[in-house]
A and B are shown apart, each in its own frame.
Chain A
């Protein structure tokens, strides 16, 4: 092979046709959905909304230049970070009877699944987060959502999940899964979410 024939390939390898030194790349989520990112630099803004949409953030004018990154460049240049991705948290939802810490029958089987996941995960930490629906006062709902979370935590501990890795939290009627007007009962909002991380 002549030197002349090698040169273009060598040049390519040295300068790279890869990603810019300062860059933001939007990836699809692990479940395939694609979100959005907004990049601000000085007074300009770039919006990324498609898989592998990327922006060179290295120069003033570059934000006007959104491009599509090559998957192979992304995989090689971000190899370290992509290798270190923590596993996705497993989220289990438990639903409750109105005004009560008694599990809805549809949720009883879920407990065994959550316990199995909690025990089968190394270096695990767990959050148990209680919610209430929009019936009742804020004070009542805060207390109820906390009691629901405590009842699920106690059920996990009773089955051998160590209590010191469980964090408990409550939202009251804030952050409903299904937004409703005040006073409307909604099963899907009377819930406890257990995140196994």
Chain B
């Protein structure tokens, strides 16, 4: 009986993961100029207009790079030059009332304009940097974090 526990835990974890995973694109690239990359798993690609971005993707801009994304929940972000952001969590499943949206900013400049996640589940949305965390309530913000 004792040996069954790890297997049960593994099964529960798998079920939990599959229930929360959001396979649809989190959003799409709406503006881009200069050097901007999107890292999806092990694949690094130059960002282009209308390119989808997914939960866990990384966005990075070079010294001449700028990029804007509109998410499926109508949240918008824009990155200035020399910036790196991970779309650490993005789950938007209103039918199941499941929301999770964490932007992790390593460095750079970010504009954030709130969308539906923040309206429907304010506690589910946050912007994290190495030094501080920001929660917004129906608003537009600028964030800068030093490298």
Given A35-B137, A39-B134, A127-B72, does the pair A24, B31 have CB atoms closer than 8 Å? no
> Is B78 a contact partner of A41 (Cβ separation < 8 A)?
no
Query: Which of A22, A24, A34, A127: most chain B CB closer than 10 A?
Result: A24
Residue on A with the closest CB to B137? Answer: A36
> Is B80 a contact partner of A84 (Cβ separation < 8 A)?
yes
Which residues in window 17-43 of A have CB below 8 A to B?
A: 19, 21-30, 33-41
For the complex of A and B, the 10 pairs showing the least CB-CB separation, nearest first, are A35-B139, A80-B80, A86-B30, A35-B138, A81-B80, A84-B66, A84-B78, A86-B68, A41-B132, A84-B68
Give a binary string over A146-172; 1 marks a CB under 8 Å from any B CB, 0 the rest. 000000000000000000000101111
A side interface size, CB within 8 A: 52
Contact of B141 among A37, A79, A122, A170 (CB under 8 A): A37
Binding site for B on A (CB under 8 A): 19, 21-30, 33-41, 57-58, 74, 77-89, 91, 122-123, 125, 127, 129, 142, 167, 169-172, 174-175, 195, 197
> Is A169 a contact partner of B111 (Cβ separation < 8 A)?
no
Q: List 10 A-B contacts (CB under 8 A).
A: A25-B142, A35-B138, A36-B137, A79-B80, A80-B65, A81-B109, A86-B30, A89-B76, A122-B49, A197-B70
Tell me the minimal C-beta distance from A178 to chain B in angstroms: 15
> Is B133 a contact partner of A77 (Cβ separation < 8 A)?
no
Bound form: Cα–Cα A24–B134 in Å: 8
Bound form: Cα–Cα A172–B97 in Å: 10
Check B143 for interface membership: any CB of A closer than 8 A. yes
Contact of A80 among B70, B95, B109, B141 (CB under 8 A): B109
Q: Could you list 16 further interchain pairs (A-B, Cβ under 8 angstroms) beyond the known A85-B68, A123-B50?
A: A22-B131, A24-B134, A27-B141, A34-B139, A35-B114, A35-B136, A40-B132, A40-B134, A57-B132, A58-B146, A78-B142, A80-B65, A84-B67, A85-B31, A167-B72, A197-B74
